[in-house]
Amino acid sequence: MSIRLGENYYGKQRVRIMQVTRGADRHDVKELTVGVRLEGDFETAHTQGDNSKVLPTDTMKNTVYALAKLKRIESPEEFGLRLAEHFLVKNTQVSRARIEAAETLWTRFAARKALHPHTFTRSGDEQHTALVVATRKETVVQSGMRGLIALKTTDSAFEGFLRDQFTTLKEDRNRILATVVRARWVYRTEKVDYESTWQGVRQTLLETFAGHDSKSLQQTLYAMGESVLERFPAIRAIHLSLPNRHYNLVDLSPFKMDNPKEIFLPTDEPHGLIEATIRKD
């Protein structure tokens, strides 16, 4: 029997950084959480305890800070590309660099109908995500989002579904539809304005969600992905994960009160989960 080392990698996770760009009239902020993962020729570190090819994970953390200081962060994707290139150029033993970055979204505060030069607010946990996987031959960039909460109070139905002996759900022609959008998409090329594309995809997803006469969350998911692929030629595929957050109608009949779909009980668990990838030929 022979024993050998299989797939292996290492890196630094949850490196948090806030960059403040101080202009004469206003400040801009970027807050990221970065993960670095390197693959390559590290067998002797595992089998012989030879660390001569091992770049310390503490150095990876310091590299995130240093590269941010050298140049303003334009987007998580752009910063991920810079980090991946750095680790591949500086380390011949590395064959693949994987960089994950999630941006915490700050909104400039509007004071007296004008945007404040150095005050920001956050209204939720939505994040702009990015993944860069790079070798010396190929680079793949993936953008995404998570934590985008959307709800509409009509134009949503669920009827004609399969029933068996355990089915109790009633058909509904006019229900609340609520979800927390998690999406990721892959580009055909690296030459993309990532920031404006991300904003455009976000707007497209919300516009489609709002305007779609939904027969099911599956149908709405497909319509959302289809709209993105039609509007953005640089995107070749998008994956959407949409939990179906339920709002249950409260029974007020014990109190001799009617409830024409006005009072609901919000529930987080359990919830349905609809996921699919939509690709462009």
User: Where in the sequence numbering do the catalytic residues fall?
Assistant: 12, 57, 246
Residues 6+ apart with CB under 8 A from 90: none
DSSP letters along 30-85, please? Answer: EEEEEEEEEEES-HHHHHT---TT---HHHHHHHHHHHHHHS----HHHHHHHHHH
Q: Locate 129 and state its tokens.
A: 């995500």
Q: Locate 152 and state its tokens.
A: 């509409």
**26 to 11, 32, 161: CA distances (angstroms):** 36, 20, 55
| Helix, strand counts (H, E) of the chain | 5, 10
R_g of the chain computed on alpha carbons: 24
Phi-psi region of 217 (alpha: psi -120 to 50; beta: other; left: phi over 0): alpha
